[in-house]
Amino acid sequence: GVIHGVGELHALNLQIWLNFSLSIILVFALWWLFFTLISDRTCKPGFINSSLLELLYIPTLIALGLIGMSFGGLFERFEEMEAGVFSFKAIFGLSLCLFLLGINMMLYLLEYPPPYHRLKQRSQLVLYVALVLVVVATFARIDLSLFTYLLIILGLILAVIFLLNYSWYSMHTNTQMDPKT
């Protein structure tokens, strides 16, 4: 999506390359977030739990596809908003929210060792806060350039990744050092 979006532009300049670079990093950061929280975890037992988990993958990955699709419009018409039509910025922001919500819902269905339950709840809270901040950054009536908007979103996602990874690794280290666990 990102590569196709920038490929549609005919006059490539430094600003477009910076936006392109931020977009590529953002997509990789989203995949990193997804795999950090979802991979290597088993589903809670039961047919309903496993079915719900499988179903939650659909909107989550569709959201990722919509994020990629929206880059073409973001690169070409970031500032444009037509009456009664969703802007590409709105599609991007809402898709990112759906992606974060999908990950958060999946976390309810995944098993974690007992020492990690509290940390999982904190992770979900962090994702909900990130979701709200994405909505604010997307729909606030602040005049931002595409570069600034992408930088804010990327900074937010990287902050979430750093916070979650730091918390998980700290917890993992403390759990391994505690002889009772």
Q: Which of 8-17, 50-59, 172-181 has the lowest mean pLDDT?
A: 172-181
Between 39 and 150, the more confident residue is 150
pLDDT digits (tens, 9 = 90+) for 79-89: 665 555 578 88
Instruction: Give the residue among 14, 26, 20, 29 at the shortest CA–CA distance from 2.
Output: 20
End-to-end CA distance of the chain: 45
Is 0.75 topped by the overall pTM?
yes
Residue 58 — pLDDT band, cuts 50, 70, 90? very high
Q: Which of 17-26, 60-69, 123-132 has the lowest mean pLDDT?
A: 17-26
- Rg over alpha carbons for the chain, rounded to the nearest Å, is 18
Question: Looking at residues 67-85, what average pLDDT do you find?
Answer: 72
Maximum Cα–Cα distance across the chain: 62
